[in-house]
Structure 1
Amino acid sequence: MKGRSRSTGLLLVISGASFWGVGGTVAQKLFQEFGISVDWLVTARLLTAGVLLLAVQFLLKDRSQVIGVWKNKRAAIMLLIFGLAGMLAVQYTYMASIHHGNAAVATLLQYLAPAMIIIYLVLRKQSVFSRQDFVTVSLALAGCFFLLTNGSVSQLSVPAPAIVWGVLSGVALAFYTLYAIPLLKEYDSLVVVGWAMVIGGSALSFIHPPWQMDFGSLSAEAYLYLVFVIIFGTMLAFWFYIESLQTLSPTETSLLSSLEPLAAVFTTVIWLNEPFGIYQWAGTACIFGMILLLALNKKKPAKSNDSVENEEPLRVS
């Protein structure tokens, strides 16, 4: 982890996390200024990025896994469930939250997932509720309160649909993270995520086919934003993040991936001029505190077979 390779790993994870965060803000601009629908963008994003990730696996890594995952009946069924209830659910709820609110709040609400996982594992008696867990969950709840109310219990500072979709995004990400563990033990991340994206995008195509779009009405600016969201904000972001694990530890990549909500918040506030009050900044700080605490102080659950720790991190927004 020394020398040029480590520097490359740092550059990759910082770039990937930044692409994820900025991608959400660019998606918000597509929704608000160019009339792109959530259904179409999620479909196009999943199908295109999924195919590209599988192409990377086929050309640069173990190509036998691309088809091999479907030869294992149990893995194939899990992959179908993961693609629909995990990948599609995460992507759609996240984009819907952006559409009804903004990218900053949507990304921060999605980051409630670690606290949800802690509570789930404790209820399932797969982990003991520790002092660190108490602080983590407390930071998540305080951050959520300040972020959504701006310090006033009498009114919400964020539209209710954005909150509902954002919380559902956190729930979906929690499921996505836990359910993927057995698949990641047998297959490369690019295979699991690539196929999950193709599955989710294919399913949503029945509701909103990607070819049903008035492409002639879109400006060159809109096309540039679409390319960024699909290629940089999805495909390259995930690929760079996974490649960074070759030279960095999972703890380092998890810590640096916190740049995602930071990028989302700052680009939303500065580029799109979204108002952010002092209490919302306080809420943002609480959620960042939770992320840093989790990244720096990992603990092992009671049952190691179900552990979500010490696995290859799986992130996608």
Structure 2
Amino acid sequence: MNQYKKGVIYTIIGGACWGISGTCGEYLCTFKGMDTRLLTDIRLLGAGLVLCLFMFWRYRPNVKLLLKTPNAVLHCIVFGIGGLMFTQYAYLTAIAKTNAGTATVLQYLSAIFVLLIVCLRKRKLPVLRENIAIVSCLVGTFLVATHGSFTSLYISKQGLFWGFLAAVAATLYILIPQQLLADWGSIIPTGIGMLTGGIAFFFIMRVWKISVKLDLTTVIITLLIVLVGTVLAFTMFLKGTSLVGPARGNMLGCVEPLMATVCSAVFLDTVFLPMDIIGFGFIIATVFILAKS
């Protein structure tokens, strides 16, 4: 298996894990009343601690070398705050201000932002296959998230603001760590980034003042979000984008709404409608279009 195909698989797995995480997060916020700020910080700190423990056990020499490289440490901190922390909080807040479907649609504007930035850097226009993939990605995400209803995008100014910020944050999350991933792999920068982002967020949002009611279900779902929806998702997705490139990696990640819809049907009793099936087709088509390279 060549490196590009591995990148496609890693990116798809990452997006799928995000879909699982999104459904779990919506459940906690909707049915358990968990504050999005608290959930954001638990994800970042929990995943950051898990990854840091793993990397100190498995990659101790590389970690020590990175910590002795000031530019790399600073890059990790910028990635943690400007990429990981910003992405998590903006997306969860967009859901709270609108709904999961609308927030997902707005966040996937990042596919356009990333591709345009990459094209500007390389001073070239997108090729035909990339243009087709962009359209397929956006159409599929729109259909799955809104069932084709344009009226669902008539949202509050706050919802539009946070949805746009979620797209900007996702763009930064993809682009900021590219050199880090090339130099240090995906696990070390992600672990340090999540831990520093979680610590910064803890103090910025004064998370210790947020109350929460815990029960067994809440604990189990929170652990699932941390381990599968954060540790595995971010690591696999970042590894994938380092192999396929940021623009295509971001578009391959659009399997997230597909997995989120399936999980919602299984765990939250969501009923599939014809628009869902059509949207699935567009999203799966995007994966195949981008995989042929």
Partner of 1:24: helix, strand, or coil? helix
Aligned positions of 1:47-196 closer than 5 A:
47-61=45-59, 63-103=60-100, 106-107=103-104, 109-143=106-140, 146=143, 150-153=147-150, 155-156=151-152, 159-160=155-156, 164-196=161-193
Counterpart Cα distance in 2 of 1:289 and 1:22: 21
SS at match of 1:121: helix
2:133 and 2:163 map into 1 onto residues whose CA distance is: 19
Q: Does structure 2 conserve the Cα–Cα contact (< 8 Å) formed by 1:112 and 1:140?
A: no
Q: Unmatched 5+ residue regions in structure 1?
A: 2-9, 298-317
Q: Which residue does 1:315 correspond to in 2?
A: none
User: Take 1:23 and 1:207, find their aligned partners in 2: how far apart are those partners?
Assistant: 24
TM normalised by structure 2 equals 0.78
**Structure 1 residues 123 and 112: CA distance shift in structure 2, 3 A:** same
1:311 paired residue number: none
Deviation at 1:27, TM superposition (A): 0.7
Matched, 1:207 2:175: no
Aligned residue in 2 for 1:301: none
CA gap 1:20/1:293 in 2 versus in 1, 3 angstroms: same
The alpha-carbon deviation at position 149 of structure 1 amounts to 5.5
Which stretch of the first structure deviates more once superposed, 276-285 or 116-125? Answer: 276-285
CA deviations on 1:25-67 (whole Å, 9 max, x unpaired) are 0110110111111111111110111111011111122x13324
Q: Greater helix percent: which structure?
A: 2
1:20, 1:166 → 2: CA distance?
17
1: distance between equivalents of 2:28 and 2:146?
A: 26
Q: SS of the counterpart of 2:124?
A: coil
Query: Within 1, Cα distance between the matches of 2:166 and 2:239?
Result: 25
**Secondary structure of 1:156's partner?**
helix
| Residue 295 of structure 1 pairs with residue 291 of structure 2 | yes
Cα RMSD (Å)? 3.7
Q: Aligned in 2, Cα 1:23/1:238: closer, same or farther, shift over 3 Å?
A: same
Instruction: Tell me the distance in 2 between the aligned counterparts of 1:42 and 1:205.
Output: 9
Letter in 1 for 2:126: F
Once the two structures are superposed, what CA deviation does each residue of 1:217-252 show, in whole Å capped at 9, x if it has no partner? Answer: 32221111111111232124445x38998xxx956x
Where 2:126 maps in the other structure, the secondary structure is: coil
Q: 1:237 to 1:142 in 2, by over 3 A?
A: closer
Tell me the residue number matched to 2:41: 43
Tell me the residue number matched to 2:230: 234
Secondary structure of residue in 2 paired with 1:173 = helix
Counterpart secondary structure, 1:36: coil
Per the TM alignment, residue 262 of structure 1 is displaced from its structure 2 partner at its CA by 2.4
What amino acid is aligned across from residue 38 of structure 2 in structure 1?
A: W
For residues 254-302 of structure 1, what are the alpha-carbon distances to aligned partners after superposition, in whole Å with 9 as ceiling and x for unaligned?
79966543221111244324566544553454344334322333xxxxx
Q: Which residue of 1 aligns with 2:216?
A: 220
Matching residue within 286, 290, 311 for 2:282: 286
CA contact 1:258–1:288 (8 Å) conserved in 2: no
- Please say if residues 146 and 282 of structure 1, whose CA atoms lie closer than 8 Å, have aligned partners that are also in contact: yes
- Structure 2 unmatched ranges of 5 or more: 2-7
Structure-2 change in CA distance of 1:74 and 1:13 (3 Å): closer
Structure 2: distance between partners of 1:18 and 1:41: 19
Query: What is the alpha-carbon distance in structure 1 between the residues aligned to residue 190 and residue 72 of structure 2?
Result: 13
Are the equivalent residues in 1 in contact too, given 2:144–2:257 (CA < 8 A)? no
Q: CA deviation digits over 1:109-164, x for unaligned, max 9?
A: 544433332222223444332212321232244345545664444x2268555565
In structure 2, relative to structure 1, the CA distance for the partners of 1:13 and 1:148 (3 Å cut) is closer
Paired residue for 2:258, among 262, 267, 276? 262
Q: 2:289 is matched by which residue type in structure 1?
A: L
Aligned amino acid, residue 26 of structure 2: Q
Match of 1:5 in 2: none
Letter in 2 for 1:97: A
Q: Whole-Å Cα distance in 1 between the matches of residues 146 and 166 of structure 2? A: 19
Q: State how far apart, in whole Å, the 1-side matches of 2:69 and 2:152 are.
A: 48
TM-score by length of structure 1 reads 0.73
SS of 2:113 mapped into structure 1? helix
